[in-house]
């Protein structure tokens, strides 16, 4: 029997002011009437950190950090600054790889910094449409995992997010997700981890219409949700499907 934690992670991206985040969390907190079995994480913009949140049932995460602990990096935020305000850090999101040229090597440095400060990284990996069409899924995932996890010996949460499914409304099929998640577990085994122990989330146009079916897939340990997480009732419905899947 599998013994992995399940997650429902909201990635607000560059959306919601501080007061909108507080309203969202207050509402979400009031909708949850039992102690969640699902690890429920909300990642607002960094400007929302430090506000009074109802965080007994909900964990807070951030969407990025700089790999350095301090220094002359104008406009950047270090782990020390978010340390007591968040428990999770999304790393390697495809939007950061694409728009901010984040390399696997840079993501690896960030990951090591996050682990040093005992926060939990959520490492995003996934292939582009071109890589899928060229039969390069395995090669891409292997490269991302082995480079991002170099010199890392603790288990980290992985989010499989095919780039072509993020924000496009085009969810990957169950077959594609199962195949990719199994591939990821095998690669993790090959590079020295115990793949069976690592939670792998799916991300890419998850919504309340597809979440119920996707969470029944054996290898799916929850979701990383962008667009659909901005509406609190929508996010709550997805969380409920995960909760009911235990």
CB atoms within 10 A of CB 4: 15
Which residue lies nearer to ligand PEP by CB, 104 or 150?
104
| CA 148 to the chain's CA centroid | 15
Which residue lies nearer to ligand PEP by CB, 32 or 91?
91
Q: Which one is catalytic: 95, 106, 120, 161?
A: 161
- Six-digit token pair at 127? 């292939």
Segment 195 to 224, residues that bind ligand PEP, using CB under 6 A: 203-206, 224
Which residue lies nearer to ligand PEP by CB, 50 or 167?
167
DSSP H/E element including 236: helix 232-244
Tell me the closest approach of the beta carbon of residue 107 to ligand PEP, in angstroms: 15
* Cα–Cα distance for residue pair 227/207, rounded to 1 Å: 8
**Known catalytic residue: 161?**
yes
**Known catalytic residue: 76?**
no
Site string for ligand PEP, 161-180 (x = CB under 6 A): x----xx-------------
Segment 78 to 117, residues that bind ligand PEP, using CB under 6 A: 93
* Cα–Cα distance for residue pair 133/186, rounded to 1 Å: 22
* Residues near ligand PEP (CB under 6 A), total: 15
Of 103, 16, 96, whose CA–CA distance to 63 is shortest? Answer: 96
Beta carbons within 8 Å of 240's beta carbon, 6+ residues apart: none
Residues forming the site for ligand PEP (CB under 6 A) = 11, 13, 93, 161, 166-167, 203-206, 224-228
């Amino acid at each position: 029997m599998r013994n992995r934690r399940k997650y429902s992670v909201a990635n607000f991206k560059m959306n919601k002011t501080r007061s909108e985040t507080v309203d969202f969390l207050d509402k979400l907190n009031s909708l949850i009437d039992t102690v969640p079995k699902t690890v429920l994480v909300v990642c607002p913009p960094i400007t929302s950190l430090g506000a009074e949140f109802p965080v007994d049932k909900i964990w807070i995460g951030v969407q990025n950090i700089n790999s350095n602990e301090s220094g002359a990096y104008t406009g950047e935020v270090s782990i020390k600054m978010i340390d007591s305000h968040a428990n999770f850090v999304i790393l390697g999101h495809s939007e950061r790889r694409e728009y901010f040229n984040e390399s696997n090597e840079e993501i690896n440095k960030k990951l090591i910094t996050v682990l040093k400060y005992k926060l939990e990284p959520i490492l995003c990996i996934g292939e582009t449409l071109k890589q899928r069409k060229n039969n390069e899924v395995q090669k891409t995932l292997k490269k991302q995992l082995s480079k991002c996890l170099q010199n890392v010996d603790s288990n980290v949460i992985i989010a499989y997010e095919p780039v072509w499914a993020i924000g496009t409304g085009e969810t990957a099929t169950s077959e594609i997700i199962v195949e990719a998640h199994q591939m990821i577990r095998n690669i993790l085994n090959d590079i020295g981890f115990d793949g069976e122990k690592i939670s792998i989330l799916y991300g890419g146009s998850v919504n309340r219409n597809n979440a119920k079916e996707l969470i029944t897939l054996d290898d799916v340990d929850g979701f990383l949700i962008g667009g659909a997480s901005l509406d609190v009732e929508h996010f709550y419905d997805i969380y409920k499907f995960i909760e009911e899947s235990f």
